[in-house]
Amino acid sequence: MSNEELHPAVQVPSDLVEAALRASRARGSAVADVSMQAIAHEAGISRSTLLRRLGGARHALDEAVRAAGVDPGGHKPVRERAVEAGAALISDDGLAALSLERVAAAAGCSVHSLYAAFGGRDGMMQAIFERYGPFVNIEEVLATRPGDLRSTVRRIYTHLAEVVGQEPRVLPAILAEVLARPGNDAAEALARHMVPRLYSSIGEWLALEVEAGRIRDLPLIALIHQLSSPLLLHLLLRPTLELVPDLAIPSVEEMCDAFAEAFVHAVGLPES
């Protein structure tokens, strides 16, 4: 007998799903570990009524909770599992490999639950880059930056190096996809999210530095490239360079120091 025959489809009302989630949060337990009696009490009905509304079995409630983005067995929520699974797919097979179907299979959830969590592939890609991209940490640096330009740049480089070198290697895989196929749908969708974020964080900070007279008044895109490209290119090539016998390569920390010094020397203005 199939799983569908054992557990015929039941449309679980949203109020029962919400009651199960409330009971789970109140007890600090997974939904699957909360008794039917406790869920029924939270819903304001009897246990027998709860079972009747679920078609006589708990399976339908667990599936409805899972579709709402929460694993009833107490594992990570669907959204978090999907972000991790999607990041691994991008790292292993490139951005083109990212599909809702493949992520659902890897994360152990349904495509429907991914739509509920992200609204679609574009939203899922945005969430992955938010988690594995450099912007969150860099924005924290810029929000609490010291007054010294070089120190701020050095801290930015520290976070950039961490993001490029971490596993799964999402940023290198995304950059490879964008450089190899700049006109495909995935690259265009990424650019819609990445470029505005770049200008609203690093771009805004650089514009303020220009206004304050601390760096040269160059086109903003030139300043962004001057800031990011030298170190980024080194970090992307570094795994290959390390394969060259007898090639002396300074540590990542030393390279961050060197590139920070070079940036300040290239665009910095003497303080009046």
| CATH no., domain 78-119 | 1.10.10
* pLDDT at 7 (0 to 100): 42
* pLDDT at 6 (0 to 100): 39
* pLDDT at 221 (0 to 100): 93
* pLDDT at 107 (0 to 100): 84
Contact 178, 191 (CB under 8 A): yes
From the list 147, 212, 245, 64, the residue with the least C-alpha distance to 155 is: 147
Same fold, 3-67 and 78-119: yes
Q: How far is CA 264 from the centre of its chain?
A: 31
Q: How many residues does the chain have?
A: 272
Contact 4, 15 (CB under 8 A): no
* pLDDT at 9 (0 to 100): 58
* Rounded Cα distance, 87 and 131, in Å: 9
Residue with token string 């490209």 = 229
Instruction: Report helix, strand or coil for 54.
Output: coil
Say how many CA atoms lie within 13 Å of 165 toward its Cβ.
15
| CATH no., domain 3-67 | 1.10.10
**Mean pLDDT per 10-residue interval, the chain, length 272 residues:** 45 89 82 81 86 78 84 74 90 88 86 90 88 86 81 93 90 86 74 81 92 94 95 95 94 97 95 66
Show me where the domains of the chain are located.
3-67, 78-119, 133-267
* pLDDT at 194 (0 to 100): 79
Give φ, ψ of 251 to 5 degrees.
-65, 165
Strands (E) in 95-196, as ranges, are none
| CATH no., domain 133-267 | 1.10.357.10
Contact 152, 260 (CB under 8 A): no
